[in-house]
Amino acid sequence: MTRDHAADPADWSEARLEAAFAARASLVPATPPAVGRLSDIPSGRSRVLPWQWLAAAATVVSVAVVVGGSLLLASPQPTQSMPPVAASTGNSNVPPPSVVADAAVVHAIGKPMTVTEALAVRDGAADSDREILVSGFLSAVPTIYCALELGPRNPTRPRCPEGHRWLMERDEAFGSDPPAGPVFHPSFALVKTPSVPVSDTNEAPPVPVVLLGHFHDRRAPLCSENERDACEQVFLVDRVMSIDEVEQPVETQRQTDDLPIELSADVDALVAGAAPGTLLAGRQLLPLNLVFDAEPSLRNDNFLSVFSPASHATWLETVVDLRAGVPYTRTFMLLDGTSWFAEITSNSVQGLARTVPVPSPSSWTTMPTGDPNAFASAPTAVLGIPVRSLGGMQADRQAAGDELGRDEMAIRAWYVGPAPGATCDDPNLPIPEPAPPCDATRRWLLDDPQQFGMSAGQLRADPRINRWEPLLNPIIPIDVPFDVTTSWNDDRPSPVPVVVLGHFEDHRVQTYGGNIYFVIDALVWTKDGPTASIHSEVHLTSNAREDASSVLARVAAVSPNVAVATWTTVVDAADLGGFDWYFAESTELGTDTPVWIVRRLVPSEIDGRQRLAIEWAWTHDGGERVWMTESPDSSPDLATTLDLHDLDANTTLVKVADYDDGITSVSAATGLGPLDWHQPLGNATDHMDVAKGRTNRELVLRWYAEDCRTSWRVHVNVDANGRVYLFPFTRDVPECEGATVVRRIVITFDHPIDIDAVEGPSCCG
């Protein structure tokens, strides 16, 4: 079984590490020096990290080095170049697969073995569980009937039909019996399985591969007694090195669609701190319930049982320990977004302290105390909002809990931006959404300059615990002008006094602890800087033709509020999803016409408390329809409606929301004569009926409710199959008692409507 290595890293000096590498290097020609960055699978949106560094992101000195495409968790010695390495030919007449193998892996482990040589390792008396490279031909999984297999899973027990997959020494065809040549079962439970297409006749040529892995895995003894020997014989794949002679990089094997909190690079660094001198073989991100399949020994762990098994994302990293001269695997586990970090061994979970050993330059570990007169010329109020110190604002928030919601706040603080040249590993989106960036590009608002770098390498604080600290990592969306470019002096931070407007709980920040992130709306003041304008107009496309003043007038016409400040942005429709996840798949705003995004700072009341907060609106360039948040704390809805005023003696207003832009008019239902009324599908009561009007494009809606409910809104949706969904409701009188009255309106569409395809809610009114 795989050996457990949890020795103190201090036992290994640099000289001893160099000797271990030299011993492995004697097996193969020398490798070329190469340093780069490890890439991760892109997720379509920026990764998020809610942990807050108290040390400068720019001071991070990575302990992970990329060599030949593989992440080595200790720096190798520079060497000369190495020619391509091919697998041994064995006894086959068919040429074996060849590959320019990952230089760092070959350097540390040796050149790929044949299947025959690997079987000799498996059946040997010593080191039979060591990590090896094997070159062979991978068969397809046959199309066969598999009975339902119950019971616990184990990575060393390939289930049907995977149990019929082979790694073969020769490129050979086989039927129901195993191949004739040397073979063994590989398990791809920890990595992405290489694709081997199979035909209807189960005849498919095998694919040449080079695999990194081992026999006699530490989890094999956990198989049932009658299967234990077979589990010991399985080759557990830790990394697919090449497929059809194409080298494969280390990637994150994702088995969850949830956006992780941690960056893969930070997980790598965390493991590097716990296991220096190791080689990254594989990385998984999966929900906790699937961790129990990969690590059966954890199924009865009492502590892990308190986490949500179906949703809590977990990182598993497999590394190859090179320090004993013979390579063996070790596994580390991190519960995403927590301090639960451990090494998983054959019979225990060894908890580890979550630390990141990254020293800061001594030249600015302690920053100077801020000038007490730095804010002497700063405003004391902005648009009637009092300017508070960052520490005072955080104290107020802590006292109020989450009661402040999206209140607009004015804050004075010391600002430090990213160090010059700092970048994130994640791809830069054309229009980045307001998600927290990686550590290197974090921005800082500090109550005192000394908070920056005061504790070098300190663990990022869990925001659920330390969310009231007098420092923030603010988010500055791309459309917010923020002209502060002097917060660094060469390689030394130079905090700048600023006053900013912003808010918490931004609806666009869809991530863990989203309400801890402060989103800046405007830069109001900087010391020794030009006077900043609170209002802004930002063009991120040259395709817009409408003037911003007409856009603001269109929005103001459908809003009941008077704005004290406005911020307008125009973008191409294709970029709208990058600004707001709500419209990422919008069928209306996702057209070719540019879209205006309007933020209006308006008076608002919440729980009897008056405040200023942001009201959002979206409209096409040159369009007529407006989407808007009904209140600063609500989701977007269609604001432009077809209105009927004074419908009857009991109804002052009916607003019809035409979500699919297919209604030509709305009118009172008078002079229609007798109608054939139907209850719409899904309407379980008699509160609502529909009838065909004078033409097949007219739909008459009749609903019943108390006469004290005088203002109504009717939602109308038409799907791609022609089904019409109607929903009348009111918000003006939550509780009232009165006589039941009937209301009728005629909705005229621009296309025929099937009366039998109309649906409604289970009750109305």
Is the pLDDT reported for residue 733 higher than 80? no
pLDDT digits (tens, 9 = 90+) for 514-525: 677 899 999 999
Specify the range with the lowest mean pLDDT, choosing from 410-414, 439-443, 546-550, 655-659: 439-443
Residues 68, 29 contacting (CB under 8 angstroms): no
C-alpha to C-alpha distance for 545 and 102, rounded to whole angstroms: 54
Map tokens 């006699």 to a residue.
216
Across the range 495-505, mean pLDDT stands at 94
- The chain-wide mean pLDDT, for the chain, equals 78
Kindly compute the dihedral angle of the four CA atoms of residues 746, 752, 755, 756, in this order, to the nearest 10 degrees. Answer: -160
In order of 263, 349, 436, 482, 575, the CA distances from 46 in angstroms are 10, 32, 8, 21, 15
Give dist(CA 397, CA 608) in Å, integer: 18
Q: What is the mean pLDDT of residues 138-162?
A: 76
**Per-residue pLDDT averaged across 251-279, rounded?**
84
Would the pLDDT of 63 be above 60?
A: no
Instruction: Tell me the HSE value of 764 on the side-chain side, using a 13 A CA sphere.
Output: 30
What's the rounded mean pLDDT across residues 106-120? 90
Query: Is pLDDT above 60 for 49?
Result: no
State the pLDDT at residue 691.
Answer: 93
Copy the structure tokens of residue 554.
């269109």
**Is residue 462's pLDDT more than 90?**
no
d(CA 324, CA 326): 5
**Residue 150 banded pLDDT, cuts 50, 70, 90:** low
* CA 284 – CA 319 distance, rounded (Å): 12
Q: Between residues 582 and 75, which one has the greater pLDDT?
A: 582
Average of per-residue pLDDT across 279-305: 84
Residue 298 binned pLDDT confidence (cut-offs 50, 70, 90): confident
CA distances from 723 to 571, 618, 747, 760, 761 (A): 33, 27, 15, 11, 14
Q: Is the confidence at residue 693, as pLDDT, over 50?
A: yes
pLDDT at 717 over 50: yes
Average pLDDT of span 296-311: 70
Q: What is the DSSP letter of 198?
A: -
3-state secondary structure of 547: coil
The pair of three-digit structure tokens given for residue 528, joined into one six-digit string: 């020794």
User: 227-243: per-residue pLDDT in tens?
Assistant: 899 999 999 999 999 99
Residue 512: predicted pLDDT: 53
The per-residue pLDDT for 679 is 86
User: In this predicted structure, what is the pLDDT of residue 546?
Assistant: 96
Q: What is the mean pLDDT of residues 264-282?
A: 88
Q: How far apart are CA 668 and CA 650, in angstroms?
A: 13
Residue with tokens 């194409």: 246
692 closest CA partner among 749, 743, 642, 762: 749
Give residue 288's pLDDT.
84
- Output the DSSP codes for 324-363: TSS-EEEEEEEETTSS-EEEE-SS-EEE-------PPPGG
Is the alpha carbon torsion for 389, 390, 395, 396 positive or negative?
positive
Helix (H) or strand (E) holding 184: strand 183-184
Partners of 282 in the beta sheet? 318
Structure tokens at 534: 């609170």
State which H helix or E strand residue 254 sits in: strand 252-254
Closest among 744, 660, 662 to 705, alpha carbons compared: 744
Share of the chain above pLDDT 90, in %: 38
pLDDT over threshold 80, residue 695: yes
Query: What is 440-473 written as a DSSP string?
Result: GG--EEESSGGGTTSSTTPPPBPTTTSTTSSEE-
Instruction: Give residues with Cβ within 8 angstroms of 141, minimum separation 6.
Output: 161, 162, 164, 165, 196, 198
At 438-460, the pLDDT tens digits run 666 778 898 888 777 643 333 34
Percent of the chain with pLDDT over 70: 75
Q: How far is CA 316 from the centre of its chain?
A: 17
pLDDT band at 126; cut points 50, 70, 90: confident
57, pLDDT greater than 60: no
What pLDDT, on the 0 to 100 scale, is given for residue 458? 32
User: In the structure encoding, which two tokens stand for residue 182, read together?
Assistant: 């040397």
pLDDT at 36 > cutoff 50: no
User: What are the tens digits of pLDDT across the range 663-686?
Assistant: 999 999 988 888 999 888 876 666
Q: Lowest-confidence range among 154-158, 183-187, 209-213? A: 154-158
Alpha carbons 136 and 116: distance in angstroms, whole number: 10
Q: Is it the case that residue 408 has pLDDT exceeding 70?
A: yes
pLDDT at 15: 46
Q: Which residue has the higher pLDDT, 108 or 764?
A: 108
How are beta strands 207-214 and 183-184 bridged, if at all?
unpaired
For 15-20, what is the mean pLDDT? 43
Q: Is the pLDDT at 4 greater than 80, yes or no?
A: no
Rounded Cα–Cα distance for residues 324 and 7 (Å):
11
Higher-pLDDT residue of 301, 37: 301
